[in-house]
């Protein structure tokens, strides 16, 4: 799957179902409310979920109820992580993954939707996602899954956070609007992402002791060494943060379970 890019390209998703099937679906939708759900199995959800995966309508994280779990899953920057979902009620659609480092307000809004035979006809997919979107168009499907589905996403290298939010957004086509989620369902996981080296950056190197004044020169070199460590860690850490958003982070594979 594509990784992060500074110039996203877009394509449209629409159901591939046959016309006869769509006409039957339209009749059913006219007489029943919208219903499409999924459970976030991995990473651990930030919120408790029922047997259908609710709450999940109110963005950005299914915040219309439930009890926070307090669970935070730990990863390292640049790690390829596994995401597992279980779609409990089927409609054609796909999934999108995004990451907010500081606050959930950083999560991107759901993409615009074009009505079709129902209010939820099609939406755009970022073919080359740009951070904070890590992957889009994942598990594109027009028939029910045979069980939980697993795919992998790579976290951006050089990006760390103590308590950040991974959002898994589901677009469901060919059904009416859900209130208040529109054509989308939302789940989130709280993450902690650390530097894989365990430090903020590489340490600096001290200078060599001078000749003829070994005592003072040694102290001077030691001061330089300590300063180098401090400056090196700060500089590398800042560089990682500055470049993390632009680094690639995408889906490395997908499979059903």
Any idea where the domains of the chain sit in the sequence?
10-197+251-256
Q: What is the pLDDT of residue 186?
A: 93
Q: What is the pLDDT of residue 191?
A: 98
* Cβ contact 186:62 at 8 Å: yes
Token look-up 């904070």 returns 132
Q: What is the pLDDT of residue 166?
A: 98
Residue numbers in the chain where pLDDT is lower than 70: 1-36, 199-257
CATH number of 10-197+251-256: 2.60.40.10
Q: What is the pLDDT of residue 35?
A: 55
Q: What is the pLDDT of residue 76?
A: 98
* Cβ contact 126:72 at 8 Å: no
Q: In sequence order, what DSSP letters do the residues of 234-253 get, joined into one string?
A: HHHHHHHHHHHTTS---EEE
Q: What is the pLDDT of residue 148?
A: 96
Q: What is the pLDDT of residue 199?
A: 62
Side-chain half-sphere exposure of 138, counting CA atoms within 13 A: 31
Burial (CB count <10 Å: 0-12, 13-18, 19+), residue 224? middle
What would the two tokens of residue 234 be?
């700060």
Q: In sequence order, what DSSP letters do the residues of 152-190 get, joined into one string?
A: EEEPPTT--EEEEEEEEEEEE-SS--BTTTBTEEEEEEE
């Amino acid at each position: 799957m594509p990784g992060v890019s500074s110039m996203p390209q877009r394509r449209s998703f629409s159901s591939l179902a046959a016309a006869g099937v769509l006409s039957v679906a339209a009749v059913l939708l006219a007489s029943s409310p919208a219903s499409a759900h999924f459970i976030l199995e991995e990473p651990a959800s930030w919120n408790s979920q029922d047997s259908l995966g609710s709450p999940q309508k109110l963005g950005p994280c299914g915040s219309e109820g439930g009890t926070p779990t307090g669970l935070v899953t730990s990863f390292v920057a640049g790690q390829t992580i596994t995401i597992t979902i279980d779609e409990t009620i089927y409609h054609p659609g796909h999934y999108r993954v995004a990451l907010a480092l500081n606050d959930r307000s950083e999560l991107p809004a759901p993409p615009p939707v074009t009505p079709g035979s129902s209010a939820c006809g099609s939406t755009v997919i970022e073919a080359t996602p740009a951070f904070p979107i890590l992957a889009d168009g994942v598990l594109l499907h027009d028939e029910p899954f045979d069980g939980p589905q697993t795919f992998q996403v790579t976290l951006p290298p050089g990006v760390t956070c103590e308590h950040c939010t991974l959002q898994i957004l589901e677009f469901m086509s060919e059904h009416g609007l859900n209130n208040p989620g529109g054509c989308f369902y939302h789940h989130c996981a709280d993450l902690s992402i650390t530097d894989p080296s365990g430090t903020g950056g590489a340490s600096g190197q001290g200078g060599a002791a001078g000749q003829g004044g070994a005592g003072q020169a040694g102290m001077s070199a030691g001061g330089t060494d300590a300063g180098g460590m401090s400056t090196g860690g700060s500089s590398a850490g800042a560089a990682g943060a500055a470049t993390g958003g632009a680094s690639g982070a995408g889906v490395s594979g997908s499979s059903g379970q």
